[in-house]
Amino acid sequence: MDDLAVDGVVRFDPQSGAVAATLTTVGPRGDTGRMSITWNARVTGALAAVRGIYDGAPIVAVLPAP
């Protein structure tokens, strides 16, 4: 999507490797979203779990962690 504004906070625990992000989004037509993303940075090949809502639709996804 072009022109999606993203804002949020990412927290990282260096001892456990836990990463948790909370993001808010605003699209070019004013559509909004909020999501949380979690993964463990110490795990090779870790998967990130994504849960939230965008423009009224639920988001549930699992994808390779950054």
pLDDT digits (tens, 9 = 90+) for 1-55: 678 999 999 999 999 999 999 999 999 999 999 999 999 999 999 999 999 999 9
Three-state SS sequence of the chain: CCCCEEEEEEEECCCCCEEEEEEEEECCCCCEEEEEEEEECCCCCCEEEEEEEECCEEEEEEEECC
d(CA 60, CA 48): 11
Domain containing 15: what range? 5-64
**37 contacts 8 by C-beta, under 8 angstroms:** no
How long is the chain?
66
pTM of the shown model? 0.87
Q: How many domains does one find in the chain?
A: 1
